[in-house]
Every structure is written in C-alpha cells, then in structure tokens.
Structure 1
Amino acid sequence: MNLETIIDGLSRDQQIIAMEMLWKRLSQGPDNTAPPTWHRDIVAERVAGLQDGTESLSDWADVKKRLADRLQ
C-alpha cells in the first residue's frame, strides 16, 4: 500500500491532522534543501501582489478557522 492510498483512506479531519503532524516534524529540524523553483515563483508573485496592493495578508488563525468552517 502506498502513501497516497493511505492518505486517500483518511477522513478529511484525519488528513488535516496528518498534514499538521508532518509539517511540525519538517519544521523542527534544520533543512539544507533549497525550495523548488515553482515555489520561489509563487512567492515572488505574491510578494509582487503585496507590493502593488492586489494581494493582502491573512492571520493564520483566521485562515485555519475559515478552512475548518468550509469542512463542516
């Protein structure tokens, strides 16, 4: 059984918990891996949007609440 099949078998709540657990583990230790080019491109686009006023920032707690509300 591959990882994608396991993830697909989880409920939405379980998938979110798994994602948060994975992120916690990935963010705890130093990592010398450079981000992929596509990620840098997206960040550059969003920074440009912030600078020209077409994008805005959201508080992470508010984003999590909006996502949780969508899943209910």
Structure 2
Amino acid sequence: MNLETIIDGFSRDQQSIAMEMLWKRLSQSPDAAAPPSWHQDIVAERVAGLQDGTESLSDWADAKKRLADRLR
C-alpha cells in the first residue's frame, strides 16, 4: 500500500493532523527543505511588477475570498 492510499483513507481531521506533523518536522530543518529556485524568480517578477505599477497588493481577506471562490 502506498502513502497516498493510506492518506486517502484518513478522515479530514486525521489528514490535518498529519499535515501539521509533517510541517513541524520540515520546519525544524529549513535548510533541508529549501524552496525551489523558481520561487525566487516568481518573487522577483512580482516585486518588479509592484515597482513598475503592473502589479498591486491585495488585502488578505480579499485574497482569501478569491482563492475560496476559485476552489468552488
């Protein structure tokens, strides 16, 4: 049985607990879980967009609503 099958068998609460456990373990060794290099490219693009006016910042509540709407 693979890990994905095991996780699929978990309840929503069990999945949430497993995710928190994994995050805690990963965050204890941040160097071992460094983000991929393309993340820096995206950040640089967005900062440049803010500086040249082609991007704007969003209020966190608005951003959460847009994300929730996308997932529906």
TM-score range, shorter chain: 0.5 to 0.7
Structure 1 portions without partners, runs of 5+: none
Is structure 2 residue 66 aligned with structure 1 residue 39? no
- Determine the C-alpha separation between the residues in 2 that align with 1:4 and 1:62: 35
Read off the aligned partner of 1:65 and give its amino acid letter. Answer: K
Aligned pairs for 1:30-69 within 5 A:
31-32=30-31, 33-69=33-69
Structure 2 portions without partners, runs of 5+: none
> What is the RMSD of the two structures over their aligned residues, measured on CA atoms?
3.7
How far the C-alpha of 1:22 sits from its partner, in A, is 4.2
What is the TM-score with the length of structure 2 in the denominator? Answer: 0.54
Moved over 6 A (4+): none
**What is the percentage of aligned positions where both structures have the same residue?**
61
In the other structure, the counterpart of 2:23 is: 26
How far the C-alpha of 1:70 sits from its partner, in A, is 4.0
- Determine the C-alpha separation between the residues in 2 that align with 1:63 and 1:22: 23
How far the C-alpha of 1:46 sits from its partner, in A, is 0.5
Read off the aligned partner of 2:4 and give its amino acid letter. Answer: L
Higher RCO by CA contacts (8 Å cutoff, separation 6 or greater): 1
How many corresponding residue pairs? Answer: 63
